[in-house]
Amino acid sequence: MTNDDLTKIVDTSDEWIVQRTGIRQRHIAAEGEVTSDLALIAARRALENAGMEASDIDLIVVGTTTPDRTFPATAAILQQKLGITHGSAFDVQAVCSGFVFGVATADSYLKTGMAKRALIIGAEVFSRILDWTDRATCVLFGDGAGAMILEAREVPDDAPEEGVLVSSLRTDGSHWEKLYVDGGVAATGSIGHVRMEGREVFKHAVGMISDVVEDVLQKTGKTTGDLDWFVPHQANKRIIDGAGRKLGIPETKTVVTVDRHANTSAASVPLALWVASEEGRIKKGDLVMIEAMGGGFTWGASLIRW
């Protein structure tokens, strides 16, 4: 769905959307297509890239805010679609930070021996919770899914660093009314629609993102100069630029896909990782910083040796 397509639905323009957000188009799931359908496509591609079968996976973590159903977890439905019954599968609800929270959670499972091979997915059909009469929100979001596989390996102490090095996660619930859905199981018995104080979100985003990125760098003794790639949450080009400027990360090292996907919430970081690795930009051995910020507010970052 292009910005011009949106002008037929709400009073907006391609110029306004591009100038304020950098978004040019977004993808919308087909009628009847659910989150686990998108997650399944991403999961199969990740398994193929890793040379693995679904039976190799013993942990599935799905970051989503738009689950197929109130329960069971979308991860459980995905597990069935993948044709496996072993291991564990659950969803992580941290809105746009869902994938980063999922990576940190799965990494902890692997490092403590709770699982061997984890499939982490960010998948959303955000179009289903948008108020398509509210131009301030409906132009910003899109649907999508992306997946990553992490495997635990025994390595000698002096082995070169590999995989997820450190993650930093934060939540400050005092901000939840700035970005939320006005429905829910217990509150209204309905699904509801996204409500947002855009300026307030914008105001906090750059500082929160920089906070966790700097925390992760400090814990690993690295600097922004050591990074090969910065893969931020794709909400808004101006937020990405602001964070890059504050952190001193050049645009040439920053992956931007918000123009083609819009904000796909938990799917945005894995989609950006996929685009950059498919295009041959992110390569084995690269140092990659991922970060996200979203409703809650939640925010987090992970440093990964690819």
Which residues make up the interface to ligand COA (CB under 6 A)? 12, 16, 20-21, 96, 135-136, 139, 196, 198-199, 201-202, 235-236, 263, 294
Catalytic-residue membership of 3: no
CB atoms near residue 61 (< 10 Å): 28
How far is 231 from 15, CA to CA, in rounded Å? 26
142 within 8 A of 27, measured Cβ to Cβ: yes
CB-closest chain residue to ligand COA: 198
The secondary element (H helix, E strand) that includes residue 218 is helix 198-220
Catalytic-residue membership of 96: yes
202 within 8 A of 293, measured Cβ to Cβ: no
Active-site residue identified among 175, 193, 261, 263: 263
Active-site residue identified among 138, 233, 236, 261: 233
CB of 238 to ligand COA, least distance (A): 7
- Tokens (6 digits) for 60: 């599935």
Q: Which is nearer to ligand COA, 153 or 199 (CB)?
A: 199
Catalytic-residue membership of 263: yes
CB of 254 to ligand COA, least distance (A): 16
Q: Which is nearer to ligand COA, 119 or 208 (CB)?
A: 208
The secondary element (H helix, E strand) that includes residue 287 is strand 287-294
CB of 205 to ligand COA, least distance (A): 7
Using alpha carbons only, give the angle 242, 247, 252 rounded to the nearest 5 degrees.
75
| DSSP letter for each residue of 239-274 | HHHHHHHHHT--GGGB---HHHH-B-GGGHHHHHHH
CB of 66 to ligand COA, least distance (A): 14
DSSP at 140: T
CB of 76 to ligand COA, least distance (A): 26
Active-site residue identified among 96, 138, 175, 261: 96
Q: Which is nearer to ligand COA, 71 or 132 (CB)?
A: 132
Q: Which is nearer to ligand COA, 17 or 46 (CB)?
A: 17
DSSP at 17: H
Q: Which of 99, 97, 142, 95 is nearest to 120 (CA)?
A: 99
CB of 20 to ligand COA, least distance (A): 4
CA 65 to chain centre: 11
**Cβ-proximal residues to 15 (8 Å cutoff; 6+ apart), any chain:** none
Q: Which is nearer to ligand COA, 53 or 177 (CB)?
A: 177
Q: Which is nearer to ligand COA, 101 or 109 (CB)?
A: 101
Can you tell me which residue has the tokens 């090292």? 253
| Residues carrying an active site annotation | 96, 233, 263
